[in-house]
Amino acid sequence: MNAAPTERSAAARAVSALVHQPYIWAIVALALLLIINLTKNPAYLAVSVNPATGDLSGNVIDILRASAPVMMIAVGMTLVIATRGIDLSVGSVMAVSGAVSMEFMQSSGSNDLGSAVLAGALALGISALLGTVNGILVSVVGLQPFITTLVMMLAGRGLAKVITAGQNTSATNDAFRWIANGTILGFPVVFIIAAAIVAIIAVLVRRTALGLMIEAIGINPKAARMAGIRPIGILISVYIVSAVLAGVAGIFATASVMTVEVAKTGMTAEMDAILAVVIGGTSLAGGKFSLTGSVIGALLIATLDKTIVYLSIPSSATPAFKAVVIVIVCLLQSQRVRAFFSQRRSSTTRTTKGAVSA
């Protein structure tokens, strides 16, 4: 008999905790976008099963598939921003990863699983090397993260062009293509891989002291050093993780079409990553971070891209439409706006109590 009030109390606490999360407005924006799409087509969220293949299909599945590359670079960017840095090279690293994998498979001429595994390993290895260079320049040489990764952004895009001789490169490998276009139990493989990687990283940073050390470096590097934390190794590791995840995103992007376009692959991906992190509630000033918020931000960006196409908004207006939605979410998350609404709510409560007392 006493269980019901206890359950209600637990539910109320859970709702209260969710409302006070920094990514609550990203969830609200995501819900609004889905409502807009549902207004146009009530069956927008319908998921059907292909009787021939058994795969799930529908707009939701498309959003999950499209969010995987953004999720990868957003999670890596979250860790970098948590250390008070930034990684502008993720888009170029995506291009390098795609270029390396496509060139390897094209030159090998093999269509087996081994060739796909070697191509992926080589692409991730080169990505890790670029991340190591970023990490050393930031932590050992002491260059600003913005300058370091800006240089790497330009150098990486040039490296991709050198690898492919400036040409779009295509290859044929069914196993590699399956990564982006295949399904497991009806769900896209690419999303399952991305979700598994995010889960592993979440366990590493939240079930060990690694997350606290990253936040400590972002809040106050000098104090963190005095507390016995060695920032060089952590900073290098964080930039390597960011680059490797960008390499994974590059594999996702190129595997879907089995072609790398060095001038377009990963283009403006760094902006999508930063936006996903910001609207997910992580501060650009470093310190506290939220992987959950960044994942929600990636889903929001994928839904936004899908909505723009779905509403037939002209391509010339796409950046403006995207910017308006992102700015609204960022404004709602700002401390000043939240303080303003909090003051308005307190003022309304006092007025109501005064009227009742009178």
pLDDT in tens, 67-95: 999 999 999 999 999 999 999 999 999 99
What's the pLDDT at 98?
94
Residue 322, in any domain of the structure: yes
Domain for residue 146, yes or no? Answer: yes
At 326 the pLDDT is 67
Question: What pLDDT does 226 receive?
Answer: 86
Task: Please state, for a pLDDT cut of 90, what percent of the chain lies above it.
Answer: 47
Confidence of residue 305 (pLDDT cuts 50, 70, 90): confident
Least confident interval from 16-20, 142-146, 269-273: 16-20
In the chain, the amino acid numbered 70 is V
Establish if 350 belongs to a structural domain: no
Please, which residues have CB within 8 angstroms of residue 283's CB and are 6 or more apart in sequence? 81
Is 70:276 a contact under the CB 8 Å cutoff?
yes
pLDDT value of position 9: 72
Do the domain assignments include residue 161? yes
Q: Residue 203's pLDDT band (boundaries 50, 70, 90)?
A: very high
Which tokens is 356 given? 């009742």
Within a domain: 74: yes
- Mean pLDDT is lowest, of 170-179, 218-227, 253-262, for 218-227
Domain, as residue range, for 89: 54-334
Whether 224 is in a domain gets the answer: yes
Q: Looking at the domain assignment, is residue 41 inside a domain?
A: no
**In the predicted structure, residue 1 carries a pLDDT above the cut 50:** no
Mean pLDDT of 300-318: 81
User: How much is the average pLDDT of 23-44?
Assistant: 87
Confidence grade of residue 247 (pLDDT, cut at 50, 70, 90): very high
For residue 260, list its beta bridge partners: 169
pTM strictly above 0.95: no
Which region holds residue 268: left if phi is over 0, alpha if psi is between -120 and 50, else beta?
Answer: left
67 neighbors 298 (Cβ within 8 angstroms): yes
Q: What is the CATH number of the domain that holds 298?
A: 1.10.3470
In order of 6, 19, 124, 298, the CA distances from 13 in angstroms are 11, 10, 43, 27
- State the pLDDT at residue 286: 80
At 358, the amino acid letter reads: A
What is the number of structural domains in the chain? 1
| Structure-model confidence comparison of residues 237 and 308, the more confident one | 237
Task: Give the chain's end-to-end CA distance (angstroms, integer).
Answer: 39
HSE-up of residue 283 (Cα within 13 Å, Cβ side): 10
Closest CA to 249 of 81, 101, 149: 101
Q: Does 235 have pLDDT greater than 50?
A: yes
- Classify residue 226: in a domain, yes or no: yes
Residue ranges of the alpha helices (H) in the chain? 3-19, 24-40, 59-82, 90-108, 113-136, 145-163, 174-181, 189-206, 210-219, 221-226, 231-255, 269-279, 291-310, 318-333, 335-357
Length of the chain measured in residues:
358
In whole angstroms, what is the distance from residue 13 CA to residue 26 CA?
A: 20
Percent of the chain with pLDDT over 70: 89
Per-residue pLDDT band for 120 (boundaries 50, 70, 90) equals very high
